[in-house]
Amino acid sequence: MADARTRRIAENEARFRAINERLRGELEALGGGDDPIGFVCECANVDCRDVLELAPDRYLAVREHPLRFIVAPGHELPDVETVVERHDPAYLVIEKPDEVADVLA
């Protein structure tokens, strides 16, 4: 069972991911291409306003894994998540532990 802090961090990251999902859906409806677009950083900091530039297909590849998120370099929290990919200097892909999967569903 995840502690309260770990769950709260996962909830914050899920909120940012929901914003990106809406953005991606709107772009798909408009027939968006392969050009990089700005996605919001999906880190735990509720005040973060960083924009990460990546191609929609790269974002979709991250989203294939429900426990993975995109964050700006330096926004990762090693005590509650693992960096699984580095796309320096643009963004990192982090993975949450299985114990918060219910928060992210």
pLDDT tens digit at each of 105 positions of the chain? 578 898 889 888 888 888 888 877 776 665 556 778 889 999 999 899 999 998 888 888 998 999 999 999 999 999 999 999 999 899 999 999 999 988 886
The structure's pTM equals: 0.81
Dist CA 28 CA 40 (whole Å)? 17
Please list the residues that pair with 54 across neighbouring strands. 37
